[in-house]
Amino acid sequence: MREIVFDTETTGLDPKEGDRMVEIGCVELVNRVATGVTFHAYFNPERDMPAAAEAVHGLSISFLEDKPLFGATAGELLEFLGDAPLVAHNAGFDFGFLNAELERISFEPVCTSRMVDTVALARKRHPGAKLSLDALCTRYGIDRSHRVNHGALLDAELLAQVYVELTGGRQIGLQLAAEAAQPRAEQNSKIARVSGRADGERRDPRPHSASEEELARHRAFLEQIESPVWSS
């Protein structure tokens, strides 16, 4: 199954108040395994950047002013998303900004039935625990040492790892993907190593029937038993 984990960075908290999306990062998962295929874009918000927002993600207006408007890459983004479920942390926030940008250019919104919220998943699995992305990375031993500021693609990559852990699919997904990616010859080699033969050839089956000598020894042993139960 194909899923997209995504994150956004914005100028603020509410698109209804004029806040805009300035960055989106998307990571493709197939059967809960990251494929390495991503989508990432910055956008010119056509407005100022509040200091509080810039302190979070580090994106200044001087950096964003030469970036394309959202409408210039919307088609490419929607093509990447396809009809896959969309996974986000506090997904209502990210869906709200994505659909607000689509509405601005008269595109159909992304249906919220596709929304998978990792905050809701984490709350159900770890009631009472901290639910931030940082807290979940710590819980699952996911390295976030390179995360100085929030960044849409980096956060989506971290969230993809968290999502796999939340859904309990890490070992299963990795095993399926690895086996699917193995060439047939390599799989045969693996089977051969298990059987102890590096060349992949099958060895002759061992004899399982007793020899005449073994049968004679067995009869002699039975004759030494006094009053055996099987002869009564």
Which residue has tokens 């302190």? 55
Cα(49)–Cα(170) distance, rounded to whole angstroms? 39
Nearest to 13 by CA among 44, 57, 43, 70: 57
What separation in angstroms does the CA of 4 have from each of 77, 97, 181, 210? 11, 17, 21, 61
Single out the catalytic residue among 40, 57, 89, 150: 150
Q: What is the pLDDT along the chain (232 residues), one digit of tens a residue?
A: 999 999 999 999 999 999 999 999 999 999 999 999 999 999 999 999 999 999 999 999 999 999 999 999 999 999 999 999 999 999 999 999 999 999 999 999 999 999 999 999 999 999 999 999 999 999 999 998 877 667 899 999 999 999 999 998 655 444 454 444 444 444 444 433 444 444 555 556 555 667 777 778 877 777 777 777 666 5
pLDDT of residue 149: 67
Is residue 37 a part of any domain in this protein?
A: yes
Number of domains in the chain: 1
Is residue 142 a part of any domain in this protein?
A: yes
Question: Where do the DSSP E strands lie in the chain?
Answer: 2-10, 21-30, 33-42, 86-88, 115-117
- Rounded-to-10 torsion of CA 116, 8, 129, 117: -10
Is residue 161 a part of any domain in this protein?
A: yes
Is residue 52 a part of any domain in this protein?
A: yes
For residue 157, the enclosing domain spans: 2-166
Is residue 160 a part of any domain in this protein?
A: yes
Asked about 218 being catalytic, the answer comes back as no
Is residue 173 a part of any domain in this protein?
A: no
Q: Is 62 exposed, middle or buried (0-12, 13-18, 19+ CB in 10 A)?
A: exposed
Give the pairing type, strands 2-10 and 86-88: parallel
Is residue 228 a part of any domain in this protein?
A: no
Q: What's 26's domain CATH number?
A: 3.30.420.10
Is residue 28 a part of any domain in this protein?
A: yes
